[in-house]
Structure 1
């Protein structure tokens, strides 16, 4: 029997700036510290990278991202992706394959049929709230049962997955968060509300801007810092102009050193319409920030208990969000208490996350 070349093969669409990619980077660093040999396969090449993989990690890119103009072309393109992925996994000869994100999970399961390699897929959202599209949703329902283990980062997602995956294969594993980053705060001459996330409809930045427009009339020394990019960037900037609050807003774009923003902020806000378990929230809590979140998902509410580890407001409730801003702006002791409780919560969860990942993958047997 051939000796396996790698302990783990990780499959992910890209190494872009998303929360799942940040989770992968944290896991890679942890497993490298354990002496594990890791390879990564991406569908996009290095041009799409935001994070830089450690030099010890071997990486291959399928780099086949042709557009699918119709169903026949889509099927053909994805069969080519599956074939390429299978060839790369065979070449790497890993002991385990771990895949991230819905469509990539489906393709990875197809690529590893009859290869006698354990396959773990990581679902990063609640399937009842985050559709992949009609055909991909059906494939997810059909194929996830063939994975050896399916992980999810919220209890709500586990409940949803139980409808089409055997409960014995499902494992809850929270996001690992690096909270021991050195404090490198930016220097602000003002108190700041920070929002981090993709500029897309589900993130609720329009709700945030509406609430902030009410808040800034009373708290003129404050500023709103928005880190992230996305398809709604220009529309949101114009909305801020229409509200006459653009001079109070800093648009940070994508940031590699996100911790400097957390450590410079006064309050963190996440006004999402719907969410999975957002890494940005956990990082902010880990940095000791008082947080305001919407009750958009069970993943958020697992970590933020109202009045204990943060403040929770109803989804799309501009008035309540505005009042939460006012309350924290006026109460430094409350900010400190919520921030300390939040950091304690994340410190416990992070240690648990790494242990659970090792348990799920049984990585320490190698």
Structure 2
């Protein structure tokens, strides 16, 4: 192809959560001979912001909030005249789609759905945005077929607009880093439980703390590390004190270098009330850690069901999480590598970065058939 597609990637900020990492992976790994890549951020970078390659043009809009960025976004699109605009998070996607009548006519808008829409749309206004704005997108990327089916069933989105593309996970880099980290990790208390999540209601950390109180009664040396920031930090710390587990729980905040935490952890737990396809779990799987997870989405259930080294809870309750954690720990106790049991987690194959990026690239190109030469 002699024509390079001009692609504008939009994200609230670099660094932070899974949606930001997905967009950064696209900017880093898309082929610059096929795409002229521009990346626009709304607000200041967060911890863990990656170094972008020189072929990516970065535009900092320097706004405090997404909703106040509509004028800078509109000006940038009219100045750049991109072929494709890609938004990686729902609230930013709503804004771009609302601006569509004001954009150049040739502009294609592709958006990524980053959670199960019917679970996330808890208000009438939010549900209305899905019903009225999402049909204006040229393509909606979903991380699983179950997520796509949810949009069809609950919001009447045309199946022709939906494309299932797994999150890009750099499995090789994660495994290389953890192999290096394991060389310096000493044997520690068993079990060590790791959770990585935004400290917000949907992530279910309160459920995990209640479950962990039961785990401590059976395994007094157990320790829980919860990595991440969020609005519920003080509430969760108070809950840990109320449950008398504060001595065995740590909240170190957001950590950009996870290899050491992976290397010393017995297992990873995802206690979410609802999810899409969480990057934290996928990256923990890339680190070959045993996994305990709630049935937080149908896509997650489909991915993890009956997989070696994975235990799914029966329900999203403290009792079920505790029972599943104890069952997993009991099984891992019989493992020869007590503190560092490893699982290949072959279900990750479709998420491998080169395969996932190729799927995204194909969709970007298909959005503009007239330029494929």
For residue 7 of structure 1, what is the aligned residue in structure 2?
A: 6
TM-score, normalised relative to structure 1? 0.85
Contact 1:207 1:271 in 2 (8 A): yes
**Pairwise CA distance, 1:229:** 1.4
The 1-side partners of 2:336 and 2:156 are apart by 42
1:237 maps onto 2:237 in alignment: yes
Of 101-110 and 52-61, deviating more is 52-61
Q: Tell me which of 98, 108, 111 is aligned to 1:110.
A: 98
1:123 maps onto 2:126 in alignment: no
Q: Tell me which of 94, 105, 113 is aligned to 2:82.
A: 94
The 2-side partners of 1:303 and 1:290 are apart by 15
**Pairwise CA distance, 1:308:** 3.6
Q: Tell me which of 54, 60, 69 is aligned to 2:52.
A: 54
For residue 211 of structure 2, what is the aligned residue in structure 1?
A: 211
**Pairwise CA distance, 1:195:** 0.5
**Pairwise CA distance, 1:99:** 1.0
For residue 278 of structure 1, what is the aligned residue in structure 2?
A: 278
Of 282-291 and 211-220, deviating more is 211-220
The 2-side partners of 1:24 and 1:161 are apart by 21
Alpha carbon RMSD of aligned pairs, Å?
2.9
Q: Tell me which of 334, 346, 349 is aligned to 1:347.
A: 349
Query: Map of 1:1-366 to 2, 5 A cutoff?
Result: 7-31=6-30, 36-46=35-45, 48=46, 50-56=48-54, 57-65=56-64, 78=67, 81-113=69-101, 114-131=104-121, 133-162=123-152, 163-181=155-173, 182-183=177-178, 184-185=180-181, 187=185, 189-191=188-190, 192-306=192-306, 308=308, 310-332=310-332, 339-342=342-345, 344-350=346-352, 351-362=354-365
Contact 2:4 2:35 in 1 (8 A): no
Contact 1:6 1:39 in 2 (8 A): no
Query: Which runs of 5 or more structure 2 residues have no equivalent in the other structure?
Result: none
Of 280-289 and 324-333, deviating more is 324-333
Contact 1:121 1:149 in 2 (8 A): yes
Q: How many residues are aligned here?
A: 351
Q: Relative contact order: is structure 1 or structure 2 higher (C-alpha 8 Å, sep ≥ 6)?
A: 2
**Pairwise CA distance, 1:31:** 1.2
The 2-side partners of 1:34 and 1:287 are apart by 32
Residues 281-300 of structure 1: per-residue CA shift (max 9 Å, x gap)? 11111111111111121132
